[in-house]
Amino acid sequence: MTHGSALSGVRVIELGSLIAGPFAGRLLADFGADVIKVEDPQRPDPLREWGQARLAGHTLWWSVQSRSKRLVTLDLRSDRGRELLLRMIANTDVLIENFRPGTLEKWGLGPSELWAVNPGLVITRVSGYGQTGSHSHKPGYASVAEAFGGIRHLNGTPGEPPPRLGLSLGDTLAAMFAVQGILTALYWRDARDGRLGQVIDVSLVESCFAMLESVVPEYAATGHVRQPSGTGLRGLSPSNLFRTGDGGWVIIAANQDSVFVRLTRAMGSPELAEDPRFVGHAERGEHQQELEAMVAAWAETLTTHQLLDILARASVPGGPVYTIADIFADPYFRERGQLVTVSDPGLGEIVMPGVVPRLSATPGAVGRPGPLMPGHDNDDVYADVAGLSEEEILGLATDGVI
């Protein structure tokens, strides 16, 4: 039994462009928040042109990133534009912005001005290095944050240049931390009836840095600098990528004691579990190369399908390295609602990723795709949220304010 949308009644104004801030807005919209995305009428969000494939002349990332949002245009550099934003802020719960620090203050839209209109506003500020510190003035992109924050160094093969993931991981991590902060701040505000907002300061660098697990205390205590480890993790064995006889790649993760015992039985070599070199986690880590060579030799005697079947029957975690084509071919992703077909009036039917996580009582939902036309919802939003008349809206449009 469902009970509506979890974030129904929460209004969000999304400023900024590209990835981190707008992705946070999308995550909130997936769970029913009324997200109003603001674009400059002369300089729309560049994400409209980002992506590696086009349909009917349009890239498809925009359709996903701006789904379920209401889109307006507004010139925040103009006095009338700022006045209109403040008018909407009075009826808003959350503001998300990802400008370079100081931009809102330069426009007279800093926290003090926003809270003068709405003291309960949660102000979420996403930037490369955060709002304070010696690097705060610098522009920051995901690739730079991943390198500066320490995770790029750990990626790749020892002795080789550290590669990047083919996605903007730093932006995605920052967006998720931003949503965590927003929900925490809303709870603090509303559970205590304080009606007080606060600033959420999200740094792309810190979002990457937060992923470093034990790397930080290891260095502080012992001076150990963790290095990239290729396709596995040093000291965790067997847990790696293995080639099959028909040229496939399969991850086998059997480093836990009980799982390793099951793997040795599946390999037809149960004696390995009693071998002093492999009897425990530490011992397997010390003899990692030797052990994983044995697993690799076994995997090469099997096809990908055979290996995966054996692992599944033995309850050993393992899985293939999928391309997006493989994902579409596996019914699992549609069974879990992760490939959702929606209709777009300009593009026809398109498929986009589903909502994560799954909530039993108030599940999220994929709404309409991001509208292709900037300002698609100007009339609706400015009448609904700002209380403007048709004549006032027309006048603002004629003057280039919206």
**Residues 80-131 pLDDT 10s:** 999 999 999 999 999 999 999 999 999 999 999 999 999 999 999 999 999 9
Assigned superfamily of 11-211+342-398: Crotonobetainyl-coa:carnitine coa-transferase; domain 1 (3.40.50.10540)
Using a 10 angstrom Cβ sphere, with 0-12 exposed, 13-18 middle and 19 or more buried, the burial of residue 154 is middle
Structural domain spans, the chain: 11-211+342-398, 239-320
CA–CA dist 30, 62 (Å, integer) = 15
Is residue 401 within 8 A of residue 27, CB to CB? The reply is: no
pLDDT of residue 31: 98
Give the dihedral sign, CA 319/322/327/329: negative
Mean predicted confidence (pLDDT) in 274-281: 96
Residue 193 has pLDDT above 80, yes or no: no
Q: Please determine whether the domains at 11-211+342-398 and 239-320 fall in the same fold group of CATH.
A: no
CA–CA dist 138, 297 (Å, integer) = 50
CA–CA dist 32, 50 (Å, integer) = 26
List pLDDT tens digits, range 17-70.
999 999 999 999 999 999 999 999 999 999 999 999 899 999 999 999 999 999
Is residue 255 within 8 A of residue 280, CB to CB? The reply is: no
Question: Among the options 34, 45, 171, 201, which is catalytic?
Answer: 171
Whether the model pTM is above 0.85:
yes
pLDDT tier, 1 (very low <50, low <70, confident <90, very high otherwise): low
Residue 202 has pLDDT above 90, yes or no: yes
CA–CA dist 148, 174 (Å, integer) = 14
Per-residue DSSP letter, 235? T
CATH topology of domain 239-320: formyl-coa transferase, domain 3 (3.30.1540)
Percent pLDDT > 90 in the chain is 96
171 is catalytic: yes
Q: Which residues contact 73 (CB under 8 A, 6 or more apart)?
A: 38, 39, 40, 41, 44, 374, 375, 378, 402
Nearest Cα to 164, choosing from 190, 186, 180, 141?
141
Q: Which two tokens stand for residue 387?
A: 């209380």
Mean predicted confidence (pLDDT) in 316-322: 97
Q: What phi and psi values does residue 393 have, to the nearest 5 degrees? A: -65, -45
List pLDDT tens digits, range 223-276.
999 999 999 988 999 999 999 999 999 999 999 999 999 999 999 999 999 999
Is residue 33 within 8 A of residue 10, CB to CB? The reply is: yes
Q: What is the mean pLDDT of the chain?
A: 96
Residue 195 has pLDDT above 90, yes or no: no
CA–CA dist 396, 81 (Å, integer) = 9
List pLDDT tens digits, range 380-390.
999 999 999 99
Residue 318 has pLDDT above 80, yes or no: yes
pLDDT of residue 2: 65
